């Protein structure tokens, strides 16, 4: 039995620019079966009840799918019969659907925007949705260096105009190869895993592979002009 969700949600469209054939892409499409549970009220409009359950999975990590659900379509009941266990009022159904998932597997290379910095980490924002944390031990010393924020003191004693947006910064990370700061720049990183903190999923990343690429001057881009630090 196919569930008609077209009344409630627009089906996803094929987008090869997002879901690619690359082995390193964090996006993937799967056809999978999963167990859902519906309250008695859902049977007033069964299709809507199924949609409400499925919609609650959006932007959530689902263990059965091993990824974060970005979209779904083609929902079908595997059996017309539901199951009630013991004294639970919920009815359980197996459904099958096509899911678009996001899963930053270890070794996957992606590009994020620098949004926060400290001597102990660099934080990136990925696709305007996912948080990336690069811990201190994953930042190579021979490529990047931390500099304390002296702009406040320089403005007081030298008379320079104070940059208010940098007043409260502890300091910034700089690319030693170019001398450019990384604030608001795009940085390519390698995924090393993930963690959940207070219900928020963080991708863990590393910049260690920059050490190897630093030997090739063609891979170095001036962050002051392009505001992008990446590899070829």
| Parallel/antiparallel/unpaired status of strands 228-229 and 186-197 | parallel
Cα separation, 127 vs 124, in Å, equals 10
Phi, psi values for residue 35, rounded to 5° = -95, 130
**60-90 pLDDT per residue, tens:** 888 888 888 999 999 999 988 888 888 889 9
- 164 compared with 129, residue with greater pLDDT: 129
Place of tokens 């969700």: 5
Same fold, 27-102 and 109-229: no
pLDDT for residue 121 is more than 90: yes
CATH number of 27-102: 3.30.1490
Question: Domains of the chain: which residue ranges?
Answer: 27-102, 109-229
CATH, domain range 109-229: 2.40.50.1060
Which range, of 42-51, 163-172, 220-229, averages the lowest pLDDT? 220-229
Contacts of 202 (CB under 8 A, 6+ apart): 131, 132, 133, 194, 195, 196
What's the pLDDT band for 159 if we cut at 50, 70, 90?
A: low
pTM: 0.63
**Under 8 Å between Cβ of 26 and 109:** no
């Amino acid at each position: 039995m196919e569930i008609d969700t077209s009344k409630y949600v627009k089906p996803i469209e094929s987008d090869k620019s997002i879901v690619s054939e690359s082995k390193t892409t964090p996006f993937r499409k799967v056809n999978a079966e999963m167990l859902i549970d519906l309250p008695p009220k859902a049977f007033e409009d069964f299709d809507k009840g199924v949609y409400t359950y499925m919609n609650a999975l959006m932007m959530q990590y689902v263990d059965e799918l091993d990824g974060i659900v970005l979209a779904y379509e083609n929902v079908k009941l595997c059996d017309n019969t539901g199951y009630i266990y013991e004294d639970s009022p919920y009815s359980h159904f197996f459904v099958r659907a096509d899911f678009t998932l996001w899963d930053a597997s270890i070794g996957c290379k992606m590009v994020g925007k620098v949004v926060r910095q400290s001597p102990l980490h660099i934080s990136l924002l990925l696709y305007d949705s996912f948080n990336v944390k690069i811990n201190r031990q994953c930042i190579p010393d021979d490529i990047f260096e931390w500099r304390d924020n002296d702009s406040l003191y320089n403005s007081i004693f030298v008379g320079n105009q104070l940059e208010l947006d940098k007043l409260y910064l502890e300091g910034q990370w700089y690319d030693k190869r170019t001398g450019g700061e990384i604030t608001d720049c795009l940085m390519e990183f390698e995924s090393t895993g993930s963690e959940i903190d207070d219900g928020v999923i963080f991708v863990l990343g590393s910049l260690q592979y920059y050490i190897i690429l630093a030997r090739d001057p063609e891979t170095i881009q001036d962050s002051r002009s392009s505001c992008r630090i990446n590899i070829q």
